[in-house]
A and B are shown apart, each in its own frame.
Chain A
Amino acid sequence: MRRISLTVNGVQHEGMVEPRQLLVYFLREQLGLTGTNVGCDTSTCGACTILVNGNAAKSCTLLAVQADGAEITTIEGLASNGEMHPLQKAFHENHGLQCGYCTPGMIMASLDLIANNDDLNDEDVRIGLEGNLCRCTGYQNIVKSVQQAAGEMRSPAST
Protein backbone atom coordinates (compact mmCIF):
# COMPACT_ATOMS: atom_id res chain seq x y z
CA MET A 1 0.00 0.00 0.00
CA ARG A 2 1.13 3.53 -0.68
CA ARG A 3 0.05 6.75 0.88
CA ILE A 4 -1.14 9.37 -1.59
CA SER A 5 -2.29 12.88 -1.02
CA LEU A 6 -4.25 14.87 -3.55
CA THR A 7 -6.60 17.82 -3.81
CA VAL A 8 -10.03 16.99 -5.15
CA ASN A 9 -12.41 19.87 -5.88
CA GLY A 10 -10.36 22.09 -3.59
CA VAL A 11 -10.37 19.67 -0.66
CA GLN A 12 -7.18 17.92 0.44
CA HIS A 13 -7.49 14.13 0.73
CA GLU A 14 -5.10 11.45 1.91
CA GLY A 15 -5.52 7.78 1.15
CA MET A 16 -3.79 4.43 1.27
CA VAL A 17 -3.95 2.70 -2.08
CA GLU A 18 -2.68 -0.43 -3.74
CA PRO A 19 -0.45 0.61 -6.67
CA ARG A 20 -2.90 -1.09 -9.04
CA GLN A 21 -5.84 1.02 -7.84
CA LEU A 22 -7.20 3.03 -10.75
CA LEU A 23 -7.87 6.69 -10.12
CA VAL A 24 -11.54 6.42 -11.08
CA TYR A 25 -12.15 3.74 -8.44
CA PHE A 26 -10.25 5.74 -5.85
CA LEU A 27 -12.57 8.69 -6.53
CA ARG A 28 -15.74 6.63 -6.63
CA GLU A 29 -15.14 4.06 -3.93
CA GLN A 30 -12.73 5.66 -1.51
CA LEU A 31 -13.91 9.27 -1.75
CA GLY A 32 -17.53 8.46 -2.64
CA LEU A 33 -17.46 10.81 -5.65
CA THR A 34 -19.70 8.71 -7.89
CA GLY A 35 -20.44 11.49 -10.36
CA THR A 36 -17.54 10.27 -12.49
CA ASN A 37 -18.86 7.30 -14.46
CA VAL A 38 -17.14 4.23 -15.83
CA GLY A 39 -18.49 3.43 -19.27
CA CYS A 40 -16.17 1.24 -21.31
CA ASP A 41 -13.33 0.76 -18.85
CA THR A 42 -11.07 0.50 -21.91
CA SER A 43 -9.99 4.15 -22.43
CA THR A 44 -12.43 4.65 -25.28
CA CYS A 45 -15.66 6.34 -24.18
CA GLY A 46 -14.53 9.28 -22.06
CA ALA A 47 -17.31 8.88 -19.46
CA CYS A 48 -14.63 8.85 -16.75
CA THR A 49 -13.06 12.16 -17.84
CA ILE A 50 -11.87 14.43 -15.02
CA LEU A 51 -9.30 17.23 -14.85
CA VAL A 52 -5.83 16.43 -13.53
CA ASN A 53 -3.90 19.66 -12.97
CA GLY A 54 -6.31 21.30 -15.40
CA ASN A 55 -5.92 18.70 -18.16
CA ALA A 56 -8.75 16.42 -19.23
CA ALA A 57 -7.84 12.83 -18.42
CA LYS A 58 -9.51 9.43 -18.62
CA SER A 59 -9.43 8.37 -14.99
CA CYS A 60 -9.92 4.68 -15.91
CA THR A 61 -6.49 4.83 -17.55
CA LEU A 62 -4.55 6.39 -14.69
CA LEU A 63 -3.33 4.86 -11.49
CA ALA A 64 -4.23 6.65 -8.29
CA VAL A 65 -0.49 6.77 -7.48
CA GLN A 66 0.09 8.72 -10.71
CA ALA A 67 -2.19 11.43 -9.31
CA ASP A 68 -0.30 11.74 -6.02
CA GLY A 69 0.10 15.47 -5.35
CA ALA A 70 -2.24 16.46 -8.19
CA GLU A 71 -5.14 18.88 -8.25
CA ILE A 72 -8.21 17.00 -9.42
CA THR A 73 -11.54 18.42 -10.53
CA THR A 74 -14.57 16.17 -10.94
CA ILE A 75 -18.14 16.99 -11.95
CA GLU A 76 -18.99 17.44 -8.26
CA GLY A 77 -16.60 20.40 -8.16
CA LEU A 78 -18.40 22.53 -10.75
CA ALA A 79 -21.53 23.89 -9.11
CA SER A 80 -20.94 26.58 -6.55
CA ASN A 81 -23.31 27.83 -3.84
CA GLY A 82 -26.11 25.77 -5.32
CA GLU A 83 -25.67 27.47 -8.70
CA MET A 84 -25.00 25.24 -11.67
CA HIS A 85 -21.84 25.86 -13.68
CA PRO A 86 -22.54 27.45 -17.10
CA LEU A 87 -21.76 24.09 -18.74
CA GLN A 88 -24.21 22.23 -16.53
CA LYS A 89 -26.84 24.88 -17.15
CA ALA A 90 -26.26 24.79 -20.90
CA PHE A 91 -26.53 20.99 -21.12
CA HIS A 92 -29.75 21.22 -19.09
CA GLU A 93 -31.28 23.96 -21.22
CA ASN A 94 -30.29 22.57 -24.63
CA HIS A 95 -31.13 18.90 -24.10
CA GLY A 96 -27.42 18.14 -24.18
CA LEU A 97 -28.22 14.82 -22.52
CA GLN A 98 -30.73 12.04 -22.61
CA CYS A 99 -29.72 9.16 -20.33
CA GLY A 100 -26.96 11.33 -18.88
CA TYR A 101 -24.34 8.62 -18.60
CA CYS A 102 -21.79 10.38 -20.79
CA THR A 103 -22.59 13.82 -19.39
CA PRO A 104 -20.07 14.19 -16.54
CA GLY A 105 -17.28 13.21 -18.93
CA MET A 106 -18.64 15.43 -21.71
CA ILE A 107 -18.77 18.40 -19.35
CA MET A 108 -15.28 17.87 -17.93
CA ALA A 109 -13.81 17.42 -21.42
CA SER A 110 -15.65 20.56 -22.58
CA LEU A 111 -14.29 22.54 -19.66
CA ASP A 112 -10.73 21.65 -20.70
CA LEU A 113 -11.53 22.43 -24.34
CA ILE A 114 -13.03 25.85 -23.61
CA ALA A 115 -10.25 26.79 -21.19
CA ASN A 116 -7.59 26.06 -23.81
CA ASN A 117 -9.20 27.58 -26.90
CA ASP A 118 -10.27 31.18 -27.28
CA ASP A 119 -12.37 30.62 -30.31
CA LEU A 120 -14.26 27.42 -31.08
CA ASN A 121 -16.46 26.75 -34.07
CA ASP A 122 -18.81 23.75 -34.14
CA GLU A 123 -16.24 21.64 -35.97
CA ASP A 124 -13.62 22.43 -33.31
CA VAL A 125 -16.03 21.32 -30.60
CA ARG A 126 -16.75 18.05 -32.40
CA ILE A 127 -13.05 17.34 -32.88
CA GLY A 128 -12.22 18.51 -29.37
CA LEU A 129 -14.69 16.01 -27.93
CA GLU A 130 -13.58 13.11 -30.13
CA GLY A 131 -12.60 11.15 -27.03
CA ASN A 132 -16.13 11.23 -25.61
CA LEU A 133 -18.86 8.99 -26.95
CA CYS A 134 -22.60 9.51 -26.51
CA ARG A 135 -25.02 6.72 -27.38
CA CYS A 136 -28.15 8.86 -27.10
CA THR A 137 -28.08 12.42 -28.30
CA GLY A 138 -26.50 12.37 -31.73
CA TYR A 139 -24.13 15.10 -30.45
CA GLN A 140 -26.03 17.99 -32.04
CA ASN A 141 -27.29 19.34 -28.73
CA ILE A 142 -24.02 18.63 -26.99
CA VAL A 143 -22.26 20.92 -29.45
CA LYS A 144 -24.98 23.53 -28.94
CA SER A 145 -24.60 23.29 -25.16
CA VAL A 146 -20.83 23.68 -25.31
CA GLN A 147 -21.15 26.71 -27.57
CA GLN A 148 -23.67 28.38 -25.26
CA ALA A 149 -21.49 27.71 -22.22
CA ALA A 150 -18.33 28.90 -23.98
CA GLY A 151 -20.05 32.18 -24.81
CA GLU A 152 -21.24 32.61 -21.26
CA MET A 153 -17.91 31.67 -19.68
CA ARG A 154 -16.09 34.24 -21.83
CA SER A 155 -18.41 37.10 -20.96
CA PRO A 156 -19.13 36.56 -17.28
CA ALA A 157 -20.73 39.99 -17.07
CA SER A 158 -23.84 38.70 -18.85
CA THR A 159 -24.66 36.15 -16.11
Chain B
Amino acid sequence: MIPAEFDYELAESGEHALQLLEQHGDEAKLLAGGHSLLPLMKLRLATPSMLIDIGRLDDMSYISDDGDAIAIGALTRHEVVEGSDVLKEHCAIVAHTAGEIGDRQVRHFGTIGGSLAHGDPASDLPTVMLALDAQVVVRSSSGERTVAANEFFTGLFETALGPTDLLTEIRVPKLTGGWSYQKFHHRAQDWAIVGVAAVQRNGGASVALTNMGEVPLRASGVEQALASGNDAAAAAEEAAENTSPPSDPFGSADYRRALAKVLTRRALQEAMGR
Protein backbone atom coordinates (compact mmCIF):
# COMPACT_ATOMS: atom_id res chain seq x y z
CA MET B 1 0.00 0.00 0.00
CA ILE B 2 1.44 3.31 -1.08
CA PRO B 3 0.21 6.73 0.03
CA ALA B 4 -1.16 9.14 -2.57
CA GLU B 5 1.39 11.63 -3.89
CA PHE B 6 2.37 14.56 -1.72
CA ASP B 7 5.07 17.18 -1.43
CA TYR B 8 7.45 17.10 1.49
CA GLU B 9 9.22 19.79 3.47
CA LEU B 10 11.60 19.23 6.35
CA ALA B 11 11.05 21.78 9.11
CA GLU B 12 14.32 23.11 10.48
CA SER B 13 12.83 24.76 13.56
CA GLY B 14 9.49 25.32 15.24
CA GLU B 15 9.38 28.77 13.61
CA HIS B 16 10.03 27.24 10.21
CA ALA B 17 7.24 24.69 10.75
CA LEU B 18 4.83 27.54 11.58
CA GLN B 19 5.86 29.45 8.45
CA LEU B 20 5.30 26.36 6.32
CA LEU B 21 1.89 25.83 7.94
CA GLU B 22 0.94 29.45 7.16
CA GLN B 23 2.08 28.97 3.58
CA HIS B 24 0.28 25.70 2.90
CA GLY B 25 -2.66 25.93 5.30
CA ASP B 26 -5.35 23.29 5.05
CA GLU B 27 -3.56 21.22 2.44
CA ALA B 28 -0.65 20.42 4.71
CA LYS B 29 -0.24 18.00 7.61
CA LEU B 30 2.51 17.86 10.17
CA LEU B 31 4.47 14.61 10.30
CA ALA B 32 5.90 13.77 13.74
CA GLY B 33 6.57 10.04 14.23
CA GLY B 34 4.15 9.20 11.43
CA HIS B 35 2.84 6.15 13.25
CA SER B 36 -0.77 7.32 13.14
CA LEU B 37 -0.66 9.44 10.00
CA LEU B 38 1.24 7.13 7.64
CA PRO B 39 -1.05 4.11 8.22
CA LEU B 40 -4.02 6.38 7.37
CA MET B 41 -2.24 7.73 4.30
CA LYS B 42 -1.40 4.22 3.12
CA LEU B 43 -5.11 3.36 3.30
CA ARG B 44 -5.75 6.70 1.59
CA LEU B 45 -8.04 7.71 4.42
CA ALA B 46 -5.83 10.79 4.62
CA THR B 47 -4.50 12.44 1.46
CA PRO B 48 -2.68 15.63 2.44
CA SER B 49 -0.93 17.25 -0.51
CA MET B 50 1.98 18.38 1.67
CA LEU B 51 3.75 16.85 4.66
CA ILE B 52 5.76 19.10 6.94
CA ASP B 53 8.20 16.86 8.77
CA ILE B 54 8.77 18.03 12.34
CA GLY B 55 10.32 14.70 13.32
CA ARG B 56 13.83 16.12 13.55
CA LEU B 57 13.08 19.04 15.85
CA ASP B 58 15.14 17.60 18.68
CA ASP B 59 14.79 20.75 20.77
CA MET B 60 11.09 19.86 21.08
CA SER B 61 11.99 16.57 22.73
CA TYR B 62 12.48 17.07 26.48
CA ILE B 63 11.05 16.29 29.90
CA SER B 64 11.75 18.91 32.54
CA ASP B 65 10.81 19.62 36.12
CA ASP B 66 9.07 22.97 36.15
CA GLY B 67 8.13 23.49 39.80
CA ASP B 68 4.51 22.39 40.19
CA ALA B 69 4.41 20.70 36.81
CA ILE B 70 6.46 18.50 34.51
CA ALA B 71 6.85 19.91 31.01
CA ILE B 72 7.05 17.42 28.16
CA GLY B 73 8.08 18.53 24.67
CA ALA B 74 5.60 17.50 21.96
CA LEU B 75 8.22 15.58 19.99
CA THR B 76 9.22 13.36 22.90
CA ARG B 77 9.00 9.73 21.78
CA HIS B 78 6.93 7.26 23.79
CA GLU B 79 10.09 5.30 24.56
CA VAL B 80 11.67 8.35 26.22
CA VAL B 81 8.51 9.14 28.20
CA GLU B 82 8.38 5.51 29.34
CA GLY B 83 11.94 5.61 30.63
CA SER B 84 11.92 9.10 32.17
CA ASP B 85 13.12 9.20 35.79
CA VAL B 86 11.53 12.62 36.33
CA LEU B 87 8.14 11.28 35.29
CA LYS B 88 8.58 8.06 37.25
CA GLU B 89 9.18 10.14 40.35
CA HIS B 90 6.51 12.82 39.91
CA CYS B 91 3.86 11.59 37.51
CA ALA B 92 4.45 7.88 37.03
CA ILE B 93 1.11 7.20 35.36
CA VAL B 94 2.38 9.01 32.24
CA ALA B 95 5.58 6.94 32.01
CA HIS B 96 3.68 3.73 32.71
CA THR B 97 1.01 4.41 30.10
CA ALA B 98 3.52 5.40 27.41
CA GLY B 99 5.04 1.95 27.96
CA GLU B 100 1.63 0.35 27.30
CA ILE B 101 1.39 1.85 23.81
CA GLY B 102 1.73 -0.51 20.85
CA ASP B 103 5.10 -2.27 20.80
CA ARG B 104 8.79 -1.31 21.00
CA GLN B 105 8.92 -0.43 17.32
CA VAL B 106 5.94 1.92 17.65
CA ARG B 107 7.29 3.47 20.86
CA HIS B 108 10.60 4.28 19.15
CA PHE B 109 8.81 6.60 16.70
CA GLY B 110 5.43 7.70 18.08
CA THR B 111 5.44 11.01 19.95
CA ILE B 112 3.34 12.32 22.81
CA GLY B 113 2.35 15.37 20.75
CA GLY B 114 1.22 13.17 17.87
CA SER B 115 -0.79 10.98 20.24
CA LEU B 116 -2.73 13.99 21.51
CA ALA B 117 -3.00 15.86 18.20
CA HIS B 118 -4.39 12.83 16.40
CA GLY B 119 -7.52 12.80 18.58
CA ASP B 120 -8.08 9.05 18.39
CA PRO B 121 -10.46 7.99 21.21
CA ALA B 122 -8.70 4.60 21.40
CA SER B 123 -5.37 6.25 22.30
CA ASP B 124 -4.08 5.85 25.82
CA LEU B 125 -2.26 9.08 26.65
CA PRO B 126 -5.21 11.43 25.94
CA THR B 127 -7.22 9.67 28.66
CA VAL B 128 -4.40 10.03 31.13
CA MET B 129 -4.05 13.73 30.24
CA LEU B 130 -7.76 14.21 30.86
CA ALA B 131 -7.60 12.52 34.27
CA LEU B 132 -4.59 14.69 35.15
CA ASP B 133 -6.16 17.96 33.92
CA ALA B 134 -3.00 18.44 31.89
CA GLN B 135 -2.34 21.62 29.94
CA VAL B 136 -1.54 21.58 26.23
CA VAL B 137 0.65 24.40 24.89
CA VAL B 138 -0.12 25.42 21.31
CA ARG B 139 1.75 27.84 19.07
CA SER B 140 0.71 29.50 15.85
CA SER B 141 2.18 32.46 13.98
CA SER B 142 -0.16 34.70 15.98
CA GLY B 143 1.19 33.57 19.34
CA GLU B 144 1.02 30.94 22.05
CA ARG B 145 -1.98 29.68 24.02
CA THR B 146 -2.62 27.01 26.60
CA VAL B 147 -5.58 24.66 26.30
CA ALA B 148 -6.85 22.52 29.18
CA ALA B 149 -7.10 18.82 28.37
CA ASN B 150 -10.87 18.87 28.94
CA GLU B 151 -11.21 21.42 26.15
CA PHE B 152 -8.62 19.91 23.83
CA PHE B 153 -10.43 16.81 22.55
CA THR B 154 -13.42 18.10 20.61
CA GLY B 155 -14.59 15.16 18.48
CA LEU B 156 -13.64 11.96 16.69
CA PHE B 157 -10.12 12.68 15.37
CA GLU B 158 -10.74 16.35 16.13
CA THR B 159 -8.99 18.58 18.62
CA ALA B 160 -8.74 22.26 19.50
CA LEU B 161 -5.79 22.49 17.08
CA GLY B 162 -6.44 24.58 13.98
CA PRO B 163 -4.78 23.94 10.60
CA THR B 164 -1.88 26.31 11.33
CA ASP B 165 -1.29 25.28 14.96
CA LEU B 166 1.72 23.46 16.33
CA LEU B 167 1.38 21.59 19.62
CA THR B 168 4.63 22.34 21.43
CA GLU B 169 4.39 21.13 25.02
CA ILE B 170 2.28 19.14 27.47
CA ARG B 171 2.28 20.09 31.15
CA VAL B 172 1.28 17.50 33.72
CA PRO B 173 0.90 18.11 37.47
CA LYS B 174 3.12 16.43 40.03
CA LEU B 175 1.22 13.68 41.80
CA THR B 176 1.45 12.73 45.42
CA GLY B 177 -1.35 10.15 45.49
CA GLY B 178 -1.95 6.79 43.87
CA TRP B 179 -2.79 6.13 40.24
CA SER B 180 -3.69 3.35 37.84
CA TYR B 181 -4.15 2.84 34.11
CA GLN B 182 -6.10 -0.29 33.22
CA LYS B 183 -5.88 -1.22 29.56
CA PHE B 184 -7.84 -4.15 28.22
CA HIS B 185 -6.75 -5.51 24.85
CA HIS B 186 -6.88 -8.89 23.21
CA ARG B 187 -3.26 -9.12 22.06
CA ALA B 188 -0.33 -7.50 23.81
CA GLN B 189 0.48 -4.94 21.11
CA ASP B 190 -3.12 -3.87 20.51
CA TRP B 191 -5.12 -0.75 21.10
CA ALA B 192 -7.40 -0.60 24.11
CA ILE B 193 -10.85 -2.12 23.77
CA VAL B 194 -11.48 -0.02 26.87
CA GLY B 195 -9.00 1.80 29.10
CA VAL B 196 -9.45 3.51 32.45
CA ALA B 197 -7.18 6.05 34.13
CA ALA B 198 -7.65 6.78 37.83
CA VAL B 199 -5.63 9.33 39.78
CA GLN B 200 -5.88 10.36 43.43
CA ARG B 201 -5.78 14.15 43.53
CA ASN B 202 -6.99 17.06 45.61
CA GLY B 203 -8.47 14.76 48.22
CA GLY B 204 -10.59 12.94 45.62
CA ALA B 205 -10.09 10.85 42.54
CA SER B 206 -10.26 11.71 38.85
CA VAL B 207 -11.27 8.97 36.47
CA ALA B 208 -11.19 9.02 32.66
CA LEU B 209 -12.10 6.48 29.99
CA THR B 210 -10.47 5.36 26.72
CA ASN B 211 -12.60 4.25 23.75
CA MET B 212 -15.97 4.82 25.45
CA GLY B 213 -17.11 7.59 23.08
CA GLU B 214 -15.86 9.89 20.34
CA VAL B 215 -13.40 11.54 22.70
CA PRO B 216 -11.74 10.45 25.93
CA LEU B 217 -14.34 10.94 28.67
CA ARG B 218 -14.22 11.95 32.31
CA ALA B 219 -16.27 9.51 34.40
CA SER B 220 -17.90 12.25 36.45
CA GLY B 221 -20.57 9.90 37.81
CA VAL B 222 -17.84 7.78 39.36
CA GLU B 223 -16.02 10.81 40.74
CA GLN B 224 -19.21 12.13 42.34
CA ALA B 225 -20.12 8.74 43.80
CA LEU B 226 -16.69 8.58 45.44
CA ALA B 227 -16.99 12.14 46.70
CA SER B 228 -20.27 11.29 48.38
CA GLY B 229 -18.68 8.43 50.27
CA ASN B 230 -19.22 5.34 48.10
CA ASP B 231 -16.49 2.73 47.99
CA ALA B 232 -14.63 1.85 44.79
CA ALA B 233 -16.88 -1.05 43.86
CA ALA B 234 -20.07 0.98 44.26
CA ALA B 235 -18.67 4.06 42.50
CA ALA B 236 -17.43 1.96 39.56
CA GLU B 237 -21.02 1.00 38.79
CA GLU B 238 -21.46 4.55 37.43
CA ALA B 239 -18.63 4.16 34.88
CA ALA B 240 -20.82 3.62 31.80
CA GLU B 241 -23.07 6.59 32.49
CA ASN B 242 -23.16 9.15 29.66
CA THR B 243 -20.85 7.10 27.46
CA SER B 244 -21.40 6.13 23.82
CA PRO B 245 -18.93 3.32 23.17
CA PRO B 246 -18.43 1.92 19.67
CA SER B 247 -19.31 -1.61 18.58
CA ASP B 248 -16.66 -3.38 16.54
CA PRO B 249 -15.30 -6.91 16.05
CA PHE B 250 -13.48 -6.66 19.39
CA GLY B 251 -16.58 -5.93 21.40
CA SER B 252 -20.12 -4.61 21.33
CA ALA B 253 -21.11 -1.37 23.00
CA ASP B 254 -22.75 -3.37 25.80
CA TYR B 255 -19.60 -5.39 26.33
CA ARG B 256 -17.61 -2.18 26.57
CA ARG B 257 -20.03 -0.73 29.13
CA ALA B 258 -19.65 -3.82 31.28
CA LEU B 259 -15.88 -3.74 30.83
CA ALA B 260 -15.69 -0.06 31.79
CA LYS B 261 -17.25 -0.85 35.17
CA VAL B 262 -14.90 -3.74 35.88
CA LEU B 263 -11.81 -1.80 34.81
CA THR B 264 -12.89 1.27 36.77
CA ARG B 265 -13.23 -0.81 39.91
CA ARG B 266 -9.77 -2.31 39.36
CA ALA B 267 -8.29 1.11 38.58
CA LEU B 268 -9.77 2.68 41.71
CA GLN B 269 -8.66 -0.19 43.91
CA GLU B 270 -5.15 -0.04 42.50
CA ALA B 271 -4.95 3.77 42.72
CA MET B 272 -6.14 3.77 46.32
CA GLY B 273 -3.80 0.96 47.28
CA ARG B 274 -0.69 2.55 45.75
CA distance A93 to B103 in the complex (A): 27
**Residue contact B8 to A65, C-beta cutoff 8 Å:** yes
**Residue contact B38 to A46, C-beta cutoff 8 Å:** no
Return the chain B residue nearest A113 by Cβ: B104
- Say if the beta carbon of A120 comes within 8 Å of chain B: no
- Say if the beta carbon of A76 comes within 8 Å of chain B: no
- Say if the beta carbon of B55 comes within 8 Å of chain A: yes
Cβ contacts under 8 Å, B2 to chain A? 20-22, 25
- Say if the beta carbon of A112 comes within 8 Å of chain B: yes
- Say if the beta carbon of B189 comes within 8 Å of chain A: yes
Which range contains the number of A residues in contact with the other chain?
Answer: 20 to 34
**Residue contact B34 to A42, C-beta cutoff 8 Å:** no
- Say if the beta carbon of B157 comes within 8 Å of chain A: no
**Residue contact A56 to B104, C-beta cutoff 8 Å:** yes
**Residue contact A109 to B51, C-beta cutoff 8 Å:** no
- Give the residue among A41, A56, A63, A128 with the most B Cβ atoms within 10 A: A63
Cβ contacts under 8 Å, A14 to chain B? none
CA distance A132 to B188 in the complex (A): 10
CA distance A62 to B43 in the complex (A): 14
CA distance A36 to B12 in the complex (A): 31
**Residue contact A20 to B189, C-beta cutoff 8 Å:** no
**Residue contact A66 to B55, C-beta cutoff 8 Å:** yes
Which range contains the number of B residues in contact with the other chain?
Answer: 20 to 34
CA distance A122 to B153 in the complex (A): 39
Q: Could you give, for residues 71-109 of chain B, a 1 whenever the CB lies within 8 Å of some chain A CB and a 0 otherwise?
A: 000000001000000000000000000000011111011
**Residue contact B55 to A109, C-beta cutoff 8 Å:** no
Partner of B6 from A20, A56, A128, A130 at Cβ < 8 Å: A20
Cβ contacts under 8 Å, B41 to chain A? 20
- Say if the beta carbon of B5 comes within 8 Å of chain A: yes
Return the chain A residue nearest B50 by Cβ: A19
**Residue contact A43 to B8, C-beta cutoff 8 Å:** no
CA distance A58 to B109 in the complex (A): 9
Decide: A66 near B34, CB < 8 A? Known: A19-B7, A41-B1, A130-B188: yes
B14-55 interface (Cβ within 8 A of A): 31, 34-35, 38-39, 41-43, 51, 53, 55
Jot down 14 A-B pairs with beta carbons below 8 A, ordered by A. Answer: A2-B8, A19-B6, A19-B51, A20-B2, A22-B42, A43-B35, A55-B79, A55-B108, A61-B38, A63-B31, A63-B38, A109-B105, A126-B188, A128-B104
Instruction: List the 7 closest pairs (A to B, CB-CB), nearest first.
Output: A131-B103, A19-B8, A130-B188, A55-B108, A130-B189, A20-B3, A130-B103
Binding site for A on B (CB under 8 A): 1-8, 10, 31, 34-35, 38-39, 41-43, 51, 53, 55, 79, 102-106, 108-109, 187-189
